[in-house]
């Protein structure tokens, strides 16, 4: 069976840089996302950077169970086994608490929490127990501290943190390594949303953040890495 790295939200931002880092390390990578054209564009850029690299795209809304199941079927049909899973997909919402709606809550929880759980569950189910599997859950420093006008976003990220810590406890003693990653603000399209204007000049370069994450994840084969917090100076 061929070993692969799966990265959700891999078409841009930190996900793209994570894919770049894993390809540079010689890994076979599958990037996931909702937009097939963006995935193709990202894969083309990565092939230009790393000639003869092994990069594949798979269009998948990880918040939809049937689409995640299709990914699982794809892995089985291709005899692919996941070596590294980066749960990176997510979205922000920055509004006052008295303007929240049910649709907003559903959208943010699906992107930041439900999708992580569904994808992790499917990969755990598909990966043979004797195979080593490292799961890196990319969250945010908003999973560590509450922030004004980020109530639902923080709630989803706190939930992701709880899921991650409980998963680590459940899988202790197995060949499953669970890494929690808490990055601070980065210069990505994450901030391109209606009504949000941020000065990103002091925010981190996602390529540098990805390099630190990839190095720590690859080192986890030899050392125990559990939690990574990456902040700007």
Contacts for 145 with CB less than 8 Å, ≥ 6 apart: 154
- DSSP-H helix ranges across 8-147: 13-24, 36-49, 65-77, 102-109, 115-126
What share of residues in the chain are helix, strand, coil (percent, to 5)?
A: 45, 20, 35
| Predicted model pTM | 0.93
Return averaged pLDDT per consecutive 10 residues of the chain, 233 residues in all: 96 96 98 97 97 96 97 97 97 89 96 97 96 96 93 96 98 95 83 66 88 90 84 84
Query: Helix or strand or coil: residue 107?
Result: helix
At 189, list the tokens: 């399209």
Scan for tokens 């709880």, then name that residue.
Answer: 162
CB 187 within 8 A of CB 203: yes
CB 47 within 8 A of CB 62: no
Q: What is the fold, at CATH topology level, of the domain defined by 2-230?
A: Rossmann fold (3.40.50)
Query: Helix or strand or coil: residue 166?
Result: helix
pLDDT in tens, 108-139: 999 999 999 999 999 999 999 999 999 999 99
CB 22 within 8 A of CB 84: yes
The pLDDT of residue 188 is: 73
């Amino acid at each position: 069976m061929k070993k692969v790295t799966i990265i959700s939200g891999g078409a841009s931002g930190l996900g793209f840089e994570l894919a770049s880092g894993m390809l540079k390390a010689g890994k076979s990578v599958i990037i996931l996302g909702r937009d097939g054209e963006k995935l193709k564009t990202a894969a083309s850029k990565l092939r230009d950077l790393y000639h003869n690299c092994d990069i594949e795209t798979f269009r998948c809304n990880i918040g939809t169970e049937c689409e995640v199941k299709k990914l699982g079927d794809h892995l089985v049909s291709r005899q692919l086994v996941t070596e590294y899973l980066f749960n990176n997909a997510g979205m922000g919402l920055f509004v006052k608490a008295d303007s929240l709606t049910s649709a907003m809550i559903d959208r943010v929880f699906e992107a930041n929490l439900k999708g992580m759980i569904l994808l992790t569950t499917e990969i755990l189910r598909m990966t043979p127990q004797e195979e080593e599997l490292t799961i890196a859950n990319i969250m945010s420093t908003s999973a560590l501290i509450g922030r004004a006008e980020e109530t639902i976003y923080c709630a989803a990220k706190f939930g992701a943190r709880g899921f991650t810590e409980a998963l680590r406890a459940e899988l202790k003693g197995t060949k499953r390594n669970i890494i929690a990653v808490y990055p601070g603000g980065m210069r990505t399209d994450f901030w391109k949303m209606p009504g949000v204007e941020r000065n990103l000049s002091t925010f981190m370069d996602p390529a540098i953040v990805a390099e630190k994450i990839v190095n720590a994840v690859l080192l986890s084969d030899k050392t125990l890495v559990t939690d990574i917090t990456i902040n700007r100076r």
